[in-house]
Amino acid sequence: MSLHKPVLLNEAITYLNCRPGGFYVDCTLGMAGHSRAILNASSPDGFLLGLDRDEEAIRIAVEQLKQFEGRFQLVHRDYRMLTTVLEENSFRSPVGILADLGPSLLHFTSPERGFSFQTEGPLDMRMDRSQGETAADIVNSRSVSDLARVFRQYGEENAALKLAKKIVEQRPIHTTAELSKLVESVKPRRREDKIHPATKTFQALRIVVNQELENLDTFVFDAFDVLADGGRLVVIAFHSLEDRVIKHCFQFLSADCRCPKRLLECRCGGSPLSKMLTRKPVEATEAEVNENPASRSAKLRAIEKIAGQVPRELWPEYSASRR
């Protein structure tokens, strides 16, 4: 199997500020590309905790990291369970946490996983195959209005309603090839198109199947709370919906004041909890995109914790004001 090329690898390691003896967490282990670099950069005695909700990824990562035996622990768990995993294993506070929110090459090169419209396979798309609805469950059970909402909201698909109606007319749909062909019948590919007509549809279904946006802000705040003072949180997002959540969370944590604008005076303490390390998202260079097209849409953001815990009671109104 070809190894996954981790995106923005040098940038991620730089912003994590890896050093010997540090404790780091890779929340989305994948095929361990970032984890290998973290362990190298924190040699000889840095330690890494790796999480992934895909059991196959854990097995591959064990092999990829065997040269670092004794310096890592891998856990089959969703990254949103970070706090629980740290507590269960009595780990100290990490000095660096990384989350690469994109699917790995493992998913797209395994036809039986159903992530790619370029190869035929069952319409699955689950990162954790032990639980949850498949993409086939969704396309074969949801109403026209619900499917249209999914494609519009999570895929930013202009032909969402037309596509949803066509799916309902022609279902059941069981394979990636069937769905891809259906999308192309609604949106014929034009010579000037840079992306395949099914790209947005498959993205939308993958997001819903894996609940990729659910509790993303909670994860950011959990990660911040468990970080050691001076520790760094680095997140790589791959679509605008994810990046928007990360951006607003980081702005909230780095703001001088987090109080609602309706209040006439500051009640949150009036000092930032973190330092913003990336005023604008870091993106792949042209050279990296040419070598690894998967990096084209990647956006990296990073903050450094100053001190304190997240005042979560202030978040809902702050978040609402930025929609």
pLDDT per position as a tens digit, 171-204: 999 999 999 999 999 998 877 777 889 999 999 9
Q: What confidence category does residue 276 fall into, taking pLDDT thresholds of 50, 70 and 90?
A: very high
Q: Is the pLDDT of residue 106 over 70?
A: no
Per-range mean pLDDT, top range of 125-134, 278-287, 313-322:
278-287
Report the mean per-residue pLDDT for the chain.
92
Read off the pLDDT of each residue in 266-273 and give the average, rounded to a whole number.
84
- Looking at residue 2, its pLDDT comes to 45
Instruction: Specify the CATH number for 111-209; select among 1.10.3130.10, 3.40.50.1950, 1.10.150.170, 3.40.50.1470.
Output: 1.10.150.170
- Looking at residue 192, its pLDDT comes to 72
- Looking at residue 193, its pLDDT comes to 73
Q: By mean pLDDT, which of 95-99, 196-200, 274-278 is the weakest?
A: 196-200
- Domain segments of the chain: what residues? 9-101+215-320, 111-209
- Looking at residue 195, its pLDDT comes to 81
Q: Is the pLDDT of residue 281 over 80?
A: yes
- Looking at residue 173, its pLDDT comes to 96
Instruction: Specify the CATH number for 9-101+215-320; select among 3.40.50.920, 3.40.50.150, 3.40.50.2300, 1.10.10.10.
Output: 3.40.50.150
Q: pTM for this one?
A: 0.90
Q: Is the pLDDT of residue 107 over 80?
A: no
Q: Is the pLDDT of residue 121 over 50?
A: yes
Read off the pLDDT of each residue in 158-166 and give the average, rounded to a whole number.
96
Read off the pLDDT of each residue in 228-247 and give the average, rounded to a whole number.
95
- Looking at residue 4, its pLDDT comes to 61
What is the 3-state secondary structure of the chain? CCCCCCCCHHHHHHHHCCCCCCEEEECCCCCCHHHHHHHHHCCCCCEEEEEECCHHHHHHHHHHCHHHCCCEEEEECCHHHHHHHHHHCCCCCCCEEEEECCCCHHHHCCHHHCCCCCCCCECCCCCCCCCCCCHHHHHCCCCHHHHHHHHHHHHCCCCHHHHHHHHHHHCCCCEHHHHHHHHHHHCCCCCCCCCCCCHHHHHHHHHHHCCCCCCHHHHHHHHHHHCCCCCEEEEEECCHHHHHHHHHHHHHHHCCCCCCCCCCCCCCCCCCCEEECCCCCECCCHHHHHHCHHHCCCEEEEEEECCCCCCHHHHHHHHHCCC
pLDDT per position as a tens digit, 12-68: 999 999 999 999 999 999 889 999 999 999 999 999 999 999 888 899 999 999 999
Read off the pLDDT of each residue in 245-262 and give the average, rounded to a whole number.
92
Q: By mean pLDDT, which of 24-33, 129-138, 262-271 is the weakest?
A: 262-271
pLDDT per position as a tens digit, 285-294: 999 999 988 8
